[in-house]
Amino acid sequence: MVLGKIVGTVVCSTRNDSNIGATYLLVEKTDQTGKKKGDFLVALDLIGAGHDELVLVTEGSPSRETPFTTEKPVDALVVGIVDLIDDNNKIIYRK
CA 53 vs CA 17, 44, 58, 67, 76: distances in Å: 25, 14, 16, 24, 16
Q: Is 5 in the site for a copy of itself (CB under 8 A)?
A: no
| C-beta neighbour count of 7 within 10 angstroms | 13
Residues in contact with a copy of itself, counted by CB under 8 A, come to a total of: 59
**Mask: binding to a copy of itself, 24-63, rule CB under 8 A, as x and -?**
x-x----xx-------xxxx--xxxx-x----x-xxxxxx
Q: Is 87 in the site for a copy of itself (CB under 8 A)?
A: yes
Q: Is 4 in the site for a copy of itself (CB under 8 A)?
A: no
Listed residue (56, 30, 24) closest to 42, CA to CA: 24
Listed residue (44, 14, 40) closest to 27, CA to CA: 40
Query: Which residues form the interface with a copy of itself (CB under 8 A)?
Result: 1-3, 7-18, 24, 26, 31-32, 40-43, 46-49, 51, 56, 58-66, 69, 71-89, 92
